[in-house]
């Protein structure tokens, strides 16, 4: 993709507004101008412009997310929107360098490749969870002492106690324990966690990072996988 020279000095806010308008035309099947998207992608890939990457992520990520959510495999995986968008953009960034930009002459090719990256991320996660036999912790109480009082709990008291002890032991600090507790028990989104505990996190992105790291840590724990398999009879 080669941006027009006259677009090089446009402020990022102007590029963002114009690119969004052209993307909407593209999605409606109307004539559109690729140049603004070309300039944003060029700044991001060629020059490592963090603002351009953020605009690219926000603008194109939500469109890829819609494609991921429609895939049958997505229904069985409990991850938030930011997880899918960030992983997709990371894969795109890892595969596309300055020398490959000429392979993306228009919005259709960019979105097509991003969709492919997104579906690949989804299928990789689906296979990984199948191998790890990952079972959601969302239905479990946050306090082991209250397990006997939770109607319909997935595990009996002893199993619940063992599982939550393993979770607390596996998580390395209070940040991870807090995020998992609020996410699993109360269904808090990262933005809500940050709003409530802004003194413990640098930003909303920091909450996302802690949550992602904690979940990966739990999913890789042989002890937790074994306990969940035992509890579900698998």
In a domain, 139, yes or no: no
Q: Where do we find the tokens 């990371």?
A: 90
Distance CA 205, CA 54 (A): 12
Q: Report yes or no: 147 and 141 within 8 Å, Cβ to Cβ.
A: yes
> Which one of 70, 98, 132 terminates a domain?
132
pTM of this structure: 0.54
In a domain, 113, yes or no: yes
Is the domain of 127 the same as that of 148?
no
Domain with 90, as residue range(s), is 5-132
Total structural domains within the chain:
2
Give the tens place of pLDDT for each residue, 188-208.
888 889 888 999 998 988 999
> Which one of 132, 165, 192 terminates a domain?
132
Is the domain of 121 the same as that of 150?
no
Q: Report yes or no: 214 and 220 within 8 Å, Cβ to Cβ.
A: no
Report the percentage of the chain scoring pLDDT > 70. 75
Whole-number pLDDT of residue 7 = 55
Is the domain of 11 the same as that of 113?
yes
Is the domain of 94 the same as that of 195?
no
Give the tens place of pLDDT for each residue, 20-34.
999 889 888 889 888
Of 81, 88, 90, the C-alpha closest to 204 is 81
> Which one of 71, 98, 132 terminates a domain?
132
């Amino acid at each position: 993709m080669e941006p027009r020279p006259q677009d090089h000095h446009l402020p990022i806010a102007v590029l963002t507004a114009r690119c969004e308008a052209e993307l909407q035309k593209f999605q409606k099947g109307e004539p559109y101008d690729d140049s603004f998207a070309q300039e944003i992608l060029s700044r991001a890939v060629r020059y490592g412009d963090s603002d351009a990457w953020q605009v690219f992520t926000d603008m194109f990520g939500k469109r890829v997310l819609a494609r991921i959510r429609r895939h049958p495999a997505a229904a069985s995986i409990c991850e938030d929107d930011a997880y899918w968008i960030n992983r997709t953009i990371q894969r795109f960034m890892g595969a596309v360098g300055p020398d490959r930009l000429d392979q993306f002459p228009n919005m259709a090719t960019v979105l097509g490749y991003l969709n492919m990256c997104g579906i690949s991320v989804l299928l990789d996660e689906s296979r990984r969870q199948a191998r790890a036999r990952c079972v959601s912790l969302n239905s479990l109480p946050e306090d082991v002492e209250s397990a006997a009082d939770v109607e319909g709990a997935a595990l009996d008291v002893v199993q619940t106690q063992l599982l939550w002890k393993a979770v607390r032991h596996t998580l390395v600090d209070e940040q991870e324990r807090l995020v998992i507790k609020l996410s699993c028990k109360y269904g808090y989104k990262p933005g809500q966690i940050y709003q409530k505990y802004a003194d413990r996190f640098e930003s909303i992105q920091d909450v996302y990072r802690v949550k992602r790291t904690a979940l990966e840590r739990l999913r890789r724990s042989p002890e937790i996988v074994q306990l969940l398999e035992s509890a579900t009879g698998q």
